[in-house]
A and B are shown apart, each in its own frame.
Chain A
Amino acid sequence: KQEVTQIPAALSVPEGENLVLNCSFTDSAIYNLQWFRQDPGKGLTSLLLIQSSQREQTSGRLNASLDKSSGRSTLYIAASQPGDSATYLCASPVSNFGNEKLTFGTGTRLTIIP
Chain B
Amino acid sequence: DTGVSQNPRHKITKRGQNVTFRCDPISEHNRLYWYRQTLGQGPEFLTYFQNEAQLEKSRLLSDRFSAERPKGSFSTLEIQRTEQGDSAMYLCASSLSEGGVGIQYFGAGTRLSVL
Contact = CB atoms under 8 A, between A and B. Distances in A.
Interface of A: 4, 31-32, 34, 36, 41-46, 49, 89, 91, 93, 95-107
Interface in B1-55: 6, 31, 33, 35, 40-45, 48, 50, 55
Interface residues of B, number: 29
Interface of B: 6, 31, 33, 35, 40-45, 48, 50, 55-56, 89, 91, 93, 95, 97, 101-109, 111
Majority secondary structure, B binding face: strand
A107 B111 contact: no
Given A98-B50, A100-B95, A34 B45 contact: no
B97 A104 contact: no
A102 B95 contact: no
Given A42-B109, A93-B101, A95-B101, A101 B43 contact: no
B97 A43 contact: no
Given A99-B55, A99-B56, A100-B97, A44 B103 contact: no
Contacts of A100: 31, 95, 97, 101-102, 104
Contacts of B107: 43
